[in-house]
Amino acid sequence: MMDINFTAPRPEYIKELMYIENSGFTPDEAATEEAMLNRITVIPDSFIVAKDEQAKIIGYVVGPVINHRYITDNLFEHSLPNPLRGGFQSILSIAVHPEYRGKGVASQLLCELERVCKRNKRDGITLTCLDYLVPFYETNGYRNEGKSDSEHAGEVWFNLVKEMKTGD
């Protein structure tokens, strides 16, 4: 497993973050630069950037904390500040630089996000994904709770949830 340093996002990272976002998602799925800058400034506490040993940005995971179990499409446009405790940590984007895919970066990002969630006593982590990604999330401890109501990018999405056990 590669050595990864985790850090908070900074506005000056936007070009690298958008390159990774656009490499991992179709144009209809990808966040806009405006939405990404909003996430950097409004929810930096739930935006984790992964860097390699040379401090190159190699991936990230981001999403707001919400008060319901499943993601809704309106979350992709504009983020609101996170509550200090409780709620479900959503994942709007988890993406890895093309040169670093298949090296465990995404799984390490999920583990780091889980540590942050436990520290902040979140109820769980929730995301939507396409069918071919369901096995990856199940391997990382998420449960497929069926098709999502999301119509984001005109795709069929699935709700995946990982509940946080109290006392962990």
Domain presence at residue 168: no
Domain presence at residue 41: yes
pLDDT of residue 2: 83
Q: For residue 14, give its domain range.
A: 5-163
Q: Is the pLDDT of residue 168 over 60?
A: no
Where would I find the H helices in 1-102? 14-24, 33-42
Distance CA(83)–CA(122), nearest Å, equals 10
Q: 35-39, 106-110, 122-126, 164-168: lowest mean pLDDT where? A: 164-168
Sequence-ordered list of residues with C-beta below 8 angstroms from that of 51, at least 6 positions apart, any chain: 4, 5, 6, 7, 57, 58
Per residue in 75-96, pLDDT (tens digit) is 887 889 999 999 999 999 999 9
Domain count, the chain: 1
pLDDT of residue 77: 79
Per residue in 123-157, pLDDT (tens digit) is 999 999 999 999 999 999 999 999 999 999 999 99
pLDDT of residue 167: 52
CA-atom Rg of the chain in angstroms? 15
Which CATH number belongs to the domain containing residue 64 in this structure? 3.40.630.30
Per residue in 50-65, pLDDT (tens digit) is 999 999 999 999 999 9
Sequence-ordered list of residues with C-beta below 8 angstroms from that of 26, at least 6 positions apart, any chain: 153
Domain presence at residue 14: yes
